[in-house]
Structure 1
Amino acid sequence: MKRNDKTFPLSDNVTVEKVSYKNRFGITVAADLYLPKDIDESKKYVALVIGTPYGGVKEQGAGIYAQTMAERGFVAIAFDESFNGESSGEPRHVSSPDIFTEDFSAGVDYLGTRPYVDRNKIGAIGICGSGGFALSAAKVDRRIKAIATASMYDMSRVKRNGWEDSMTDEQRNKYLDQLGEQRWKDFENGSPQLTPTFPAEIPEGLDPITSEFFEYYVAPRGHHPNSIGGFTITSDMSFMNFPLLTDLESISPRPILFIMGENAHSRYFSEDAYKMAAEPKELYVVNDARHIDLYDRKELIPFDKLESFFRTNLN
């Protein structure tokens, strides 16, 4: 096994190519294209577009998923969301529910125009925050024929309602007032201020959820210099105004697979989305797994389940 700019070893059974394409906003999306080493480009393959955990980049967890699915015979791309990683877009590190959702459809544009991809057999995988974006894209992009999420976060719900829906109307209005003030500051400064970025080392005394994320993003386990953790503060206005999972039942009859860890702090997002979705749907629990364990722990990520799900529903 060899390594390059990824946080994981590259497989000898796949080929990886850096590619790029524009979304409908004209932003250039950077992606890694993973192909089976023995691909026969005269044939048509099932393809997957795979989104990163929120704040992550394609060289981390999304790349692990894309590479492993390519080892199993799929064509797969892992992409950087607009404004982040190696994708274009100014100002840098904007977080946009609308554009991040569009990035999934742009991936379908790209895959469906490859001569070796069957454009009627394209699925999506969203990890953490991109799980919500993948589902949102599928609501309106019927070219996405099957959707799987892993450790899903609904970022619009977090921003609008607070963690575990704990934000009151008074607190929400106070935060919106702060965001309005921040817009004036950003305008006067000529550039937007970011939320705190990942530190160089893991500090002591962290709450359990932050500690878990830092275990992945800050420690050598998952650290990548393009994954800084910070977004523009005023990005939160879009999430508070753009509910991602409204009308989730409209995805039916296309199937959805929700994968969550037994011990994940985020499991309520998958459980609630599962209730909102219409059949066919499945909620799959990974024993002894936390939220971040479904980013990179290949012995826990249920790749057999993912393969059977997409083989069954895209063939």
Structure 2
Amino acid sequence: MKKITLLAFTSLMILGQAFAQTKPKVKLERTKAVQETGKSDYYTFKLSDKVTRQEVTFKNRYGITIAADLYLPKNRGSQSLAALAISGPFGAVKEQSSGLYAQTMAERGFATLAFDPSYTGESGGEPRNVASPDINTEDFSAAVDFLGLHPSVDRNRIGIIGICGYAGMALNAVAVDKRVKAVATTSMYDMSRVNAKGYFDKLTLEERTKTLEQMSQQRWADAQKGTPAPSTNNLPEKLQGNEPQFVVDYFNYYKTPRGFHPNSVNSNGAWTATMPLSFMNMPLLTYIKEISPRPVLLIAGEKAHSRYFSEDAYQAAAEPKELVIIPNASHVDLYDQTDMIPFDKLSAFFNENLKPVKATETAKAAVVR
């Protein structure tokens, strides 16, 4: 097999790329017929007849406008709902995996919000196609802001689901945002750890230094040009047959009709060449223990190359916590394979931990205040 360097592995893990953009993509047109039928090439799944979907926007703490899809169960009645903010995978958009999760959980009675992180998809932020351990953590809290102000939502019953690279940011957000009552992750990546240390922490100091030197020099070129250059470590346009299995799995999702979306960095874009800088310098999950006493559910595939991130996060987190390993599942299987994604487990977890506050408890809380 053709040798692929550890640096290339790390870049591919961040997920593939092709072109940088200096302006946000124009918002995709969705006709009334598409909205009614759900038959849109812009979504990787059909709209369920059990939910409604509404395009919404809100601002995060940094003033960046976040684009999202709000899903509500049609049979919700007049009672306030428990709600879930959902994002990921890293480099994906709300019309892909996070939207599928949001729709499925809305079918099960939750108000759900699938959002595009800052600088990607239909969300704002300049330049395009960058990521930040801080700002993308904040995006989850901004989604909680939105949900807590919605008339259909009980703000005391809000949880978070993070997928892939945004799972680490989801845990990071819950550690500091005490409004969130429960958090679940699937196919988790710790983006700071894998950028700073490589897969399985095997990036040597020499390799790390070389990578940082290259990005430091790239800043001169970007500053002179006035725009950031794109990364050159991309998912291939065609498979050659000698790629690692995880690259094949990513390709089969992002580069085929199964999961392709024109707004997805991984399908049709490029992270900037210097995007990893902040992740290599600012660790996530430093305060993961402070999620407790709120519960954490970590879900990973048995055959996922990323499984160790969930296992290590489980060891680092405090009780109550649970680690679920899905037999025979790969990392990417948990993006969209509904026969493998444990939606029954997710529903049970959030139903248990986002129960309505009893009137007596509310009265006691009012007295304390």
Range class of TM-score, shorter chain: over 0.9
Q: Which residue of 2 aligns with 1:43?
A: 79
Q: Which residue of 1 aligns with 2:329?
A: 289
Q: In the alignment, is residue 12 of structure 1 matched against residue 49 of structure 2?
A: yes
Does structure 2 retain, via aligned residues, the 8 Å contact 1:198–1:228?
Answer: no
Does structure 2 retain, via aligned residues, the 8 Å contact 1:202–1:218?
Answer: no
Which ranges in structure 1 are unaligned for 5 or more consecutive residues? none
The two structures have a TM-score, normalised by structure 1, of 0.97
1:130, distance to aligned residue in structure 2 (A): 0.8
1:262, distance to aligned residue in structure 2 (A): 0.9
Any idea what the Cα deviations from partners look like across 1:48-101, whole Å, max 9, x if unmatched?
A: 000110110000000110000000000001000100000011001011111111
Residue 145 (structure 1) aligned to one of 177, 181, 187: 181
Residue 224 (structure 1) aligned to one of 253, 261, 276: 261
1:314, distance to aligned residue in structure 2 (A): 0.8
Does structure 1 retain, via aligned residues, the 8 Å contact 2:159–2:181?
Answer: yes
Q: Which residue of 1 aligns with 2:89?
A: 53
SS at match of 1:234: coil
Q: 1: distance between equivalents of 2:252 and 2:44?
A: 14
Q: 2: distance between equivalents of 1:2 and 1:51?
A: 21
1:192, distance to aligned residue in structure 2 (A): 0.3
Q: Which residue of 1 aligns with 2:292?
A: 252
SS at match of 1:284: strand
Q: Which residue of 2 aligns with 1:304?
A: 344
Q: 1: distance between equivalents of 2:68 and 2:348?
A: 25
Q: In the alignment, is residue 123 of structure 1 matched against residue 163 of structure 2?
A: no
Q: Which residue of 1 aligns with 2:27?
A: none
Q: 2: distance between equivalents of 1:282 and 1:85?
A: 32
Q: 2: distance between equivalents of 1:142 and 1:233?
A: 35
The two structures have a TM-score, normalised by structure 2, of 0.83
Q: Compared with structure 1, are the counterparts of its residues 203 and 25 closer, same or farther at alpha carbon in structure 2 (3 Å cutoff)?
A: farther
1:164, distance to aligned residue in structure 2 (A): 0.9
Q: In the alignment, is residue 112 of structure 1 matched against residue 152 of structure 2?
A: no
Any idea what the Cα deviations from partners look like across 1:248-275, whole Å, max 9, x if unmatched?
A: 1111000000001111111000000000
1:21, distance to aligned residue in structure 2 (A): 0.3
Does structure 1 retain, via aligned residues, the 8 Å contact 2:120–2:265?
Answer: no
Does structure 2 retain, via aligned residues, the 8 Å contact 1:202–1:219?
Answer: no
Does structure 2 retain, via aligned residues, the 8 Å contact 1:201–1:219?
Answer: no
Q: 1: distance between equivalents of 2:159 and 2:258?
A: 28
Q: 1: distance between equivalents of 2:305 and 2:215?
A: 27
Q: 2: distance between equivalents of 1:110 and 1:132?
A: 21
Q: Compared with structure 1, are the counterparts of its residues 225 and 200 closer, same or farther at alpha carbon in structure 2 (3 Å cutoff)?
A: farther
Q: Which residue of 2 aligns with 1:188?
A: 224
Q: Which residue of 1 aligns with 2:275?
A: 235
SS at match of 1:180: helix
1:43, distance to aligned residue in structure 2 (A): 2.0
Q: Which residue of 2 aligns with 1:266?
A: 306
Q: 2: distance between equivalents of 1:94 and 1:228?
A: 10
Whichever residue aligns with residue 297 of structure 2, its letter is: L
Q: 2: distance between equivalents of 1:73 and 1:51?
A: 19
Residue 119 (structure 2) aligned to one of 79, 83, 90: 83
Residue 60 (structure 2) aligned to one of 15, 23, 26: 23
Does structure 1 retain, via aligned residues, the 8 Å contact 2:99–2:114?
Answer: yes
Any idea what the Cα deviations from partners look like across 1:131-178, whole Å, max 9, x if unmatched?
A: 001000011101111000000000100110011101111221121111
1:179, distance to aligned residue in structure 2 (A): 1.1
1:31, distance to aligned residue in structure 2 (A): 0.3
1:204, distance to aligned residue in structure 2 (A): 3.8
1:278, distance to aligned residue in structure 2 (A): 0.3
Which ranges in structure 2 are unaligned for 5 or more consecutive residues? 1-36, 356-369
Higher relative contact order (CA 8 A, sep 6+): 2
Residue 165 (structure 1) aligned to one of 168, 189, 201: 201
**Aligned residues between the structures:** 314
SS at match of 1:32: strand
Residue 70 (structure 2) aligned to one of 33, 47, 56: 33
SS at match of 1:144: coil
Any idea what the Cα deviations from partners look like across 1:217-273, whole Å, max 9, x if unmatched?
A: 001111111113221121211001111111211110000000011111110000000
Q: Which residue of 2 aligns with 1:95?
A: 131
